Structure 1
Amino acid sequence: MTVIKSLLVFILAGLCEIGGGYLVWLWLKEGKPLWFGILGGVILALYGVVATFQPTGFGRVYATYGGIFIVMALIWAWQVDGFRPDKYDLIGAAIALIGVCIIYYAPRP
């Protein structure tokens, strides 16, 4: 159950970072109203809070989040922006995800 809970926290943190960043992007790059940027900033701040719900120390959490973020960013781009990941995107994301799962979930003494 601990693994499932931590994965859910990583996913929520990822949604906050990607979603918040996307709103800021829309505001600055695509001329959306200021409130997009403000809301994006608030959501980005929530990302910092959500990440603290992980039981492990800062370094390992953020290292692991980096790999999960890669996968989530590709999914976001595919579903929201119409970007179609190619086989190299998928291979790279799989390698990153396997690596961070080893970092975070490997049994330690």
Structure 2
Amino acid sequence: MRSFAIYSLAALAEIGGCFAFWAWARLGRSALWLLPGMASLALFAFALTLVASAAAGRAYAAYGGVYVTASLLWLWRVEGIRPDRSDLAGAVIVLIGAAVILLGPRG
């Protein structure tokens, strides 16, 4: 449960940071959007170091499923576009994959 909370924080920070850059580059927002964007991306990187994993690559791989799902939630709640069936099916698939990576037995 702790890992999921950390991954959720990381996803929110990453998506928020990336959206700040998107807003500046694609939506014509002020360059001042880049400052909180960079801070948010730094929080994202730090958050992933808090996951209980002996290998960074495994932590990042498991995070991918949470990131995809959080991105679709962002699409819906922030951008106002409701995810379709394919989006939801893809989120379920990647979350299952993330769970296998995160919770699978290690030798």
Give the % identical residues. Answer: 40
Q: Secondary structure at the match of 2:49?
A: helix
User: Aligned-pair distance for 1:108?
Assistant: 2.5
State the match for 1:91 in structure 2.
89
Q: Which moved more, 1:27-36 or 1:67-76?
A: 27-36
How well do the aligned residues superpose, as a CA RMSD in angstroms? Answer: 0.9
Structure 1 gaps of 5+ residues are none
Distance in 1, matches of 2:16 and 2:64, equals: 16
Distance in 1, matches of 2:13 and 2:83, equals: 22
Q: How many residues align?
A: 106
State the match for 2:43 in structure 1.
46
Distance in 1, matches of 2:3 and 2:64, equals: 14
Q: Secondary structure at the match of 1:59?
A: helix
Q: Secondary structure at the match of 2:101?
A: helix
Q: Which has the higher helix share?
A: 1
Kept after mapping to 2: 8 A contact 1:54/1:61? yes
Moved over 6 A (4+): none
Q: Secondary structure at the match of 1:35?
A: helix
The TM-score, its normalising length taken from structure 1, stands at 0.92
The TM-score, its normalising length taken from structure 2, stands at 0.94
Q: C-alpha deviations, 1:39-96, integer Å up to 9, x for none?
A: 1011111111111001102011100111110000000010000111111111111011
Distance in 2, matches of 1:105 and 1:59, equals: 15
State the match for 1:102 in structure 2.
100
Structure 2 gaps of 5+ residues are none
